Amino acid sequence: MIVVVCPGQGSQTPGFLAPWLTEASFADRLGELADASGVDLARHGTESDADTIRDTAIAQPLIVAAGILAFDALVGDGRRDLVGGVAGHSVGEITAAAAAGVLGEADAMRFVGERGRAMADAAALEPTAMSAVLGGDEADLLARLEALGLEPANFNGGGQVVVAGAVDALERLKAEPPAGARVIPLQVAGAFHTRYMQPARERLAAVAAGLAPSEASLRLWSNRDGRAVASGAEFVDLLVGQVASPVRWDLCMASFADAGVTGIIELAPAGALVGLAKRALKGVPTIAVKTPDDLPAAIGLLEQAA
């Protein structure tokens, strides 16, 4: 069973869309997605520097659009039925919702455009940040976070937990980490997936009320608790709540294993999730689709499941 995974914010790099836009079909599709999102995806995906595309309002539509392009190319010519399931990390869940047919691509881009703007606005309300914590005991870490007023934002598996909150509290955690742990500050705009994103959650609830989601046509796992969700309406509700609650990617990967995963394909801008899979799902083949040149290998892995 091949699982297709969709990356989250932080996976973007300057110019990462340039290889895709050398083909007219991809360029035309990107223009349609850009119109729906309200973001100039071609310019930001080929010309903008790292600081510019770090902006949440730009990064999120870029990532989802890239994933949609890559998925469409991966499953063309009747290969969609070979996909065993799909899941996304954080904003990648919107890519996954489009891949599974829960949201049309235009609705997915409208939703992610508003998500990026709403989260950027929420992050601007007070100075917050995120840090990755590697190693150490999870129970010790959670106790330390509670003492500092911090929150876990991403449980990524393989001994990696991303935490978030006030900048001064993160600095204290870095200065005095739990035993055996390293704390690495991340270059992100705010405390995503925590209580600080509640204003964004409220804005997205209003957007979601205007959507008409369909039932999932592929197995679709949720960041909330790693379970498969068939109801499109339920999955959209989870997308709304997800901005202010932790990403349980560790539980998603456990569900992949329980379902009998035999390969993982990560959509563009790929790399982070196959790295996590190599630690948590040892021995499972993985392919990162970073450019169109990676598609033949990914298609080959997918066709092995036929």
162, burial (CB in 10 Å: exposed 0-12, middle 13-18, buried 19+): buried
The sign of the CA dihedral 175, 177, 183, 187 is negative
Identify whether 90 is a catalytic site residue: yes
Identify whether 11 is a catalytic site residue: no
- Give dist(CA 19, CA 32) in Å, integer: 18
Q: SS3 of 216, please?
A: coil
The 8-class DSSP code of residue 21 comes to: G
Q: Which of 37, 48, 89, 193 is catalytic?
A: 193
The sheet carrying 263-266 orders its strands as 83-88, 2-6, 263-266, 286-288
Q: How many CA atoms lie within 13 A of 53 on its CB side?
A: 24
Q: Which of 90, 131, 222, 255 is catalytic?
A: 90
For residue 155, what are the β-bridge partners?
A: 161, 248
36 membership: H or E segment, kind and range: helix 24-37
For residue 287, what are the β-bridge partners?
A: 265
For residue 265, what are the β-bridge partners?
A: 4, 287
> Would you please indicate which residues are annotated as catalytic (active-site) residues?
90, 193
